[in-house]
Amino acid sequence: MPGQSEADQTQLLEQQRVLARFGESALALENLDQILTEACRLVGTALGTELAKVVEVQADGHTLLVRAGIGWRPGIVGHMRTELDDPAPEGLALRTKGPIVSPDLDREDRFGVPPFVAEHGVRATVCVPIIGADGQPPYGVLQVDAREPRPFGEAEVDFLRTYANMLASAVTRLRANTELRRRAEDNERLLRELQHRVKNNLQVMVGLVEVQARQVHAASAKAALRAVARRIEALRLLHDKLHLAGEVDRLDLGDYLGQLAGGLLRFHEGEAARIQLILEVERGIVTSPDAAAPLGLVVNEFVTNSLKHAFGTGPGTVGIRLGQAAGGVGLELWDDGQGLPAEAPRGAMTAGQDTPGTGMRMIGNLARQVGAVPVWGMSEGGRGTRLALTFYRQPSPRLDGT
């Protein structure tokens, strides 16, 4: 480089290497204290000084904290505080918004030296502001101190200003990330609170419907109210599972459907002793509440209809299978009872197709909410009823990570 000595060129190359290394560290690290400490270490290496520090402006706008540094005795970094209006180079740099250079502090008449700085034998100093983002006040200052008088040159000051600007970008990025994480945590907490309230409200609704069912005398009205109560209970259980798992947007579908079916058997106390429930559900299949809700209602309708119509007064078996199937998720519900009515359709049930009962129509509508087509038929062995669904919209990964 013309006009530069070999020593100057070597120093410039070292400063460029330091800038590159700090840029890599600033992108890789997510801890602000680590980034600031690494910044002090590298800048001290580049300028050949034993002491460097980052002084941070506190929230009150007046207090200055030595946030990070190298070469200082224990008890300084993270603890030592001064005031913005103190006669010191840090405050002057922040007030003037420009670099402050003092090659010999013994001859300095613009400001004094803080006692802890004098204690370390500092004889020369240079500090530059770390600018704030988007017109905000400065974050603080980057300061390099030497134990011998030293004429910090224009190139060195320019290097420090460039370094401080990179440091400002790193601070801005980390602060933004911290704020985003805080907001995400707040939103998740609010969603969990909402789920808890929804679960409690649904529990109240189940209780109110049950009370009303006990008060009515007509058998058809009593049965209709209890059917409504079971459907609400299916939704309440969904929110209960989400709340207990600490999740807001995903749950284990097999766990939910298995617990739902077991609850239905307990609800029908008279049938529970003679009806066997077989669960063949694959754990770790995760789905969203929007998909789990209609699938839970499908299970509710099928199991309830089996308990009411499939077995008469005799014993029987109801089964649920859930697992991966043909690139999607397969749900199969079956019983070994009397089978479908003669007039009921078999095979795939399309939208708008006539069906003999509200249960099949409701199941068809619910299945379409997850993009599935219900397929009706006989269970294995040529008896009973079988319902198969395959749905492909699985918005969350499996819990086992696959």
What is 178-215 written as a DSSP string?
Answer: HHHHHHHHHHHHHHHHHHHHHHHHHHHHHHHHHHHHHH
pLDDT at 216: 80
CATH code of residue 112: 3.30.450.40
Q: Which of 123, 124, 140, 121 is nearest to 132 (CA)?
A: 140
The answer as to whether 227 is a domain residue is: no
Bridge partners of 57?
64
CATH code of residue 333: 3.30.565.10
pLDDT digits (tens, 9 = 90+) for 356-385: 567 788 888 889 888 888 888 888 777 889
**402 and 260 inside one domain:** yes
**141 and 275 inside one domain:** no
In one letter, which amino acid is 20? A
To 10 degrees, the CA torsion angle through 392, 396, 399, 402?
A: 60
The answer as to whether 212 is a domain residue is: no
Provide the domain limits for residue 307: 252-402
pLDDT at 4: 53
pLDDT at 142: 92
**12 and 123 inside one domain:** yes
pLDDT at 332: 93
pLDDT digits (tens, 9 = 90+) for 35-45: 888 888 888 88
pLDDT at 397: 43
Tally of domains in the chain: 2
Both tokens of residue 265? 């058997």
The answer as to whether 231 is a domain residue is: no
**In this structure, are strands 51-57 and 328-335 parallel, antiparallel, or unpaired?**
unpaired
User: What residue ranges of the chain have pLDDT lower than 70?
Assistant: 1-16, 18-20, 22-29, 191, 194-196, 199, 201-202, 239, 243-248, 267-273, 343-357, 393-402
Which residue's structure tokens are 């609010």? 190
DSSP reduced 3-state for 334: strand
**24 and 170 inside one domain:** yes
**294 and 159 inside one domain:** no
